[in-house]
Amino acid sequence: MVDRYVGVVTGAGGDIGAAVCRALGARGCGVLCVDLTEELAARGAEEVRKAGGVAEVFAADVTDERQVFAYADRARELWGVAHFFFNNAGIEGAESPIISYRLEDWERVFAVNVRGVFLGLKAMVHLLEHELVTRIVNTASVAGIIATPQLAAYGASKHAVIGLTKTAAVEFAPLNIAVNALCPGPVESQMMRRIERGLGGDEGAAQAHREFEARIPHARYASLEEVAELATYLLLDCPVYLTGQAITLDGGLSVV
């Protein structure tokens, strides 16, 4: 038996992934930090350890089924159980209208954001279904709920993540596993800085930021700490009966 909550975070080196790793570490968790490179995964692991948890690093391409099953297998080797799985790896893709969106960019976004989430669900539950996986959180976005002009692939991929979440919630309910989608709006993060520059260029990025904020009733972006607080609740504390939901953290953006 393990003496702490343990589980897996993918996309551990991104801003949201690292913030969630830090919050999990503060709860004393053991975290297998997964990202495309060891360097990126180590960023998440460092946050876990600094906050008081224990961490392992694993490099994997979430679009590759063999590599995804390898990180799930590593979790089983480490602990035999996984109390939580933050299925978080994702990319935003290009900023472009549909009419000029390149097919290769579209396919790359769907490979990471949809195939990666699907494979993570398949691998973690397949390998650990007879153990203890109680809560899975897939990172979607408010872009999976509302329209996202100039970000067609990203928005469509996050709609797909929400659909996968609902299906997985029903299929995994007999295993006592809750599956929910975390749907942040704009967050103070490197991803949003890239999106702002992609939409407005270097000179227009600040204006793009102001335009995003103007659409949000709370008139600001979410902080990484706010996202991590909600993610940690869903991963560790929420009732397992709460499942199949797309839970927004968007300052009211999706309701106006």
Q: Which residues pair with 180 in a beta bridge?
A: 137
Q: Where are the alpha helices (DSSP H) in the chain?
A: 15-26, 38-51, 65-79, 103-110, 116-128, 152-172, 190-214, 224-232
Q: Is the dihedral of CA 97, 209, 192, 146 positive or negative?
A: negative
- Asked if residue 26 lies in contact with residue 54, where contact means CB atoms within 8 angstroms, the answer is no
The overall average pLDDT reported for the chain is 96
Determine how many CB atoms are found less than 10 A away from the CB of residue 39: 11
On whether residue 255 sits in a domain, the answer given is no
What digits encode the pLDDT tens for the residues 219-255? Answer: 999 999 999 999 999 999 999 999 999 999 999 999 9
Distance CA(231)–CA(11), nearest Å, equals 14
Report pTM.
Answer: 0.96
- For residues 29 and 100, state if they share a domain: yes
As a whole-number percent, the residues of the chain with pLDDT over 70 amount to 97
- For residues 132 and 36, state if they share a domain: yes
What digits encode the pLDDT tens for the residues 76-129? Answer: 999 988 999 999 999 999 999 999 999 999 999 999 999 999 999 999 987 665
Distance CA(36)–CA(239), nearest Å, equals 32
Q: What angle do CA 18, 26, 75 make, to 5 degrees?
A: 65
Task: Give the pLDDT confidence score for residue 35 in this predicted structure.
Answer: 99
- For residues 86 and 15, state if they share a domain: yes
Task: Give the pLDDT confidence score for residue 125 in this predicted structure.
Answer: 87
Task: Give the pLDDT confidence score for residue 1 in this predicted structure.
Answer: 56
Residue 144 host element (H or E): none
The closest alpha carbon to 179, from 191, 188, 167, belongs to 167
- For residues 111 and 53, state if they share a domain: yes
Catalytic residues: 154
On whether residue 254 sits in a domain, the answer given is no
Write the single-letter amino acid at 255.
Answer: V
Distance CA(230)–CA(168), nearest Å, equals 20
Domain count, the chain: 2
Question: Over 60: is that where the pLDDT of 24 sits?
Answer: yes
Task: Give the pLDDT confidence score for residue 132 in this predicted structure.
Answer: 61
Structural domain boundaries, residue 195 = 186-221
- For residues 159 and 199, state if they share a domain: no
On whether residue 166 sits in a domain, the answer given is yes
Question: Over 70: is that where the pLDDT of 154 sits?
Answer: yes
Determine how many CB atoms are found less than 10 A away from the CB of residue 219: 11
